[in-house]
């Protein structure tokens, strides 16, 4: 069997040059510049720069408001990841049942992922807004009073979490559904014959066989919860009330593009990058060792 070979060593790089150009200009160069800017104090519009070393990071470490932002970010991310994966797996289990019209239900479950975070934010803003929101209207019919979803910190966090889980639900369901449809049914039948009940079959067999999919979704959902909530928070809460939903990515945006603290924003970007990379490495060294890929 013959294989294609390039004539010369330069031709492969010629074919790769458009991709390499885009990566260098729009990915690698901005990343390097971010690390460089994190060590500078930058004047308005970058007209003047002053090298300060690690002073930006020291200022952030001494700022209680930034520590509050980190806490809010970790809290929202943890609930979005764990709650989102749990709900998605439960829905995928139901969608995997052999019922009439199953394909239609599966399509309806997937479509929220086609929406951008900003559009999903607009939908939830209209649903939960005081005075004219559908949810508040139904709540007032049942309880006689409306809930201030956008004015109370605990309710605002709950709203962002619900919206974030709903928006990413279709993505998780697709992968879990694909995993369920490719499970080895003989293993499940053997477990049933051995006397395993429904919960034991799910936890010891189904969930164990889905571990590669769960591990993949765990990493992608962590990335989503740290980076992709910006649009939704910007539309729904603007980081409020009382900075209750001011996550790291939104705080970075405000410092960089509203207050023009470019060096401080770059330092926050480096911290966010390091935090996500650190969590990913921990996941690979802990959960990754428990993943069963079959054989």
The reported pLDDT for the residue numbered 70 is: 94
C-alpha dist (Å) from residue 161 to 76, 128, 166:
6, 13, 9
Give me the mean pLDDT over the 41-55 stretch: 81
Nearest residue to 218 via CA among 113, 124, 293, 288: 288
The reported pLDDT for the residue numbered 102 is: 72
Helix axes 262-285, 211-227, angle to 10 degrees: 170
Give me the mean pLDDT over the 148-164 stretch: 92
Percent residues over pLDDT 70 in the chain: 94
Superfamily covering domain 64-290: MetI-like (1.10.3720.10)
The reported pLDDT for the residue numbered 1 is: 52
The reported pLDDT for the residue numbered 250 is: 95
Give me the mean pLDDT over the 62-90 stretch: 94
The residue behind tokens 């979490």 is 161
Judged against a pLDDT cut of 80, whether residue 56 lies above it is answered with yes
The DSSP line for 219-255 is HHHHHHHHHTTHHHHHHHTTT-STTTT--HHHHHHII
C-alpha dist (Å) from residue 186 to 30, 179, 182:
51, 15, 12
Judged against a pLDDT cut of 70, whether residue 254 lies above it is answered with yes
pTM of the model: 0.87
Nearest residue to 46 via CA among 31, 59, 36: 36
Domain ranges of the chain: 64-290
The reported pLDDT for the residue numbered 292 is: 59
The reported pLDDT for the residue numbered 6 is: 61
């Amino acid at each position: 069997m013959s294989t294609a070979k390039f004539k010369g060593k330069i031709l492969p790089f010629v074919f790769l040059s458009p991709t390499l150009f885009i990566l260098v200009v729009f990915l690698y160069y901005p990343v390097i510049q971010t690390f460089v800017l994190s060590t500078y104090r930058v004047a308005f519009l970058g007209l003047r720069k002053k090298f300060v070393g690690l002073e930006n990071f020291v200022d952030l470490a001494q700022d209680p408001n930034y520590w509050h932002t980190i806490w809010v970010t970790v809290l929202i991310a943890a609930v979005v990841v764990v709650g989102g994966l749990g709900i998605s797996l439960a829905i995928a289990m139901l969608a995997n049942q052999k019922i009439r019209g199953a394909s239609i239900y599966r399509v309806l479950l997937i479509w929220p992922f086609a929406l951008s975070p900003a559009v999903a934010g607009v939908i939830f803003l209209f649903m939960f807004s005081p005075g004219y929101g559908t949810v508040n209207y139904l709540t007032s019919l049942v309880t006689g009073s409306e809930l201030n979803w956008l004015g109370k910190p605990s309710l605002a966090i709950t709203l962002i979490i619900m919206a974030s889980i709903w928006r990413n639900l279709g993505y998780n369901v697709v992968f879990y559904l694909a995993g369920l449809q490719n499970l080895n049914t003989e293993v499940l039948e053997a477990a049933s014959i051995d006397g395993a009940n429904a919960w034991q079959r799910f936890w010891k067999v189904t969930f164990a066989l889905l571990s590669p999919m769960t591990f993949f979704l765990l990493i992608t959902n962590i990335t989503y919860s740290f980076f992709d909530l910006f649009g939704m928070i910007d539309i729904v809460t603007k980081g409020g009330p009382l900075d209750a939903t001011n996550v790291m990515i939104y705080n970075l945006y405000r410092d960089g593009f509203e207050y023009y603290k470019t060096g401080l924003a770059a330092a926050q970007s480096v911290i966010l990058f390091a935090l996500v990379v650190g969590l990913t490495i921990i996941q690979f060294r802990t959960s990754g060792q428990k993943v069963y890929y079959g054989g």
